[in-house]
Structure 1
């Protein structure tokens, strides 16, 4: 109760944590509205691809034929080259992308090994690389099914298989029957929501550090207040304050910006798990730091870094895959990904693993904070 009273008396912090997220959601949602609009189109300029076929098998020829004669031929200009010429043309930018089909390409597909094919890219060709990677992936996935159905050593059947592979080369499906595209307002409502919840945690944990500097903590120690009661009290204050903040963000964005957060129960569970995770992390950090200025500096920098890595500033799908996998274990990134799944139509069952991970991380942080406070009390305040 003391932490909540102090928070509401601080008008600057109250404005920052309650009104700033709404303002930023409005600005970013409007600014990126077209790029995330479900009706928007992404244009891909045609590009040249050099191919070196070191396998010379029926399958490698089928792959080249599929790539050069399919619907993708409008944007992909295929050119057969030798290995040396391929590398030379890439360096001189005569071609934007290259594909090296290795000698065991066909055997690797038959034996389900790593596909013996390399994609070589030139500068500024990230989008083209994504297109070719998807082509190779879908070719390998469809290959086994068609190989079983139709032997590849017969002319008419080869043509039929080639036609089938071309037809199924690029497909699109939703992972959930109720899946909906994420709008820019939805994305930044979630992104700014988790960012400012982190800032709330930093502010409230800062009061914990301030108590140590102003000798309030020492006076608490001579009372009957236990370490567990102190940590739980701090944690409950952060949880309550954060839930009020999240509720206002959800309510305002739902009414004003028509943001669909998904199933209410799922949204509440995600919010609770994230707040528990972030609060436990904040209290653990607060148990180690004794100077408020130090914590504020670390907290501001840490919040910005977590926000950048967690996708609050830049959409997660623009990150490299290894960074997406790594950021999954950050409290804010984990929460944002669960919120986006909920917005897309997922129910609680589909985010259950993330929910349990988030709660588990929060409890681990809380236990570390409790152990740290017990150690400090025993050795420094005895």
Structure 2
């Protein structure tokens, strides 16, 4: 592979969208990636105006993702895109991802990976057939303090893990703002666009994934409850689950978008035989450690010696400068880009660059949603084996 930036295309992410700009900021942060083409909206006029505002040539701004993939395939290898980022409502994740893989393009896709578990398994099969790379943007795994938390648990600092609490509370859907328009609530509360789950698919999947990521363990059973608290909302806006992990640890998961007054209160607490660790998304540079026989400690990102090598590798600024949401996207994109470069050169990627969510996390995410829906509307609240 020649010495150049990786070329990125986008499906979704127009000027009228929220998450597309976040993805672009993260992708561009390390100067490894450039945007070369895109279909930025289902509305051709918005796709065109968005592409022009991103300073793309008109011939690389497309009216449909099908047109984009077909035309990009006709370009010389030195010009066509290397990968596509998909930032659309859940309903439209699978088809462009599958089409990209079938045509030899790597993929980055927002979570949840697909609309259904069946689609997720088809993507997994295609990734395995092609050997191409699919990254899933479970962004909270990109925070340096989260990576330090994972490393400390893996090193046995807490001893055998017993208890996990993971909570993701927002308040923005406390009223039916989806009826007002002009916001992201419309498709997120529409089962035809979001899939079977609302809140638990949108933010509950983040909570589940973060717990498995930092523990290095998998959920094997859950007992769940789903509710649509806001009258006439057709999909859940609140969910709770008891979790069992494969090493015997037990957990409690709370995901809610009707916690009035909350902004983005995401935190995780893990307790073992020797002590506990806590991380809060709204205070991302601190990792709190609680011990049986000594005072509480605070480890801070960006201050030498307090955090391990993996946290330092994923840190960008000196102490006191918050390493936040966009930087976490950047960590996923940087590791994805390094892995794609190794793929193109026929080399084995460095271990630290493989630290990003993949198609397998995407399949498990859809399994979590399916299992929660199966369990969550069951009035007897029975334990459900993990659906596979």
TM-score (norm: length of structure 2): 0.27
Higher strand residue share: 2
Higher helix residue share: 1
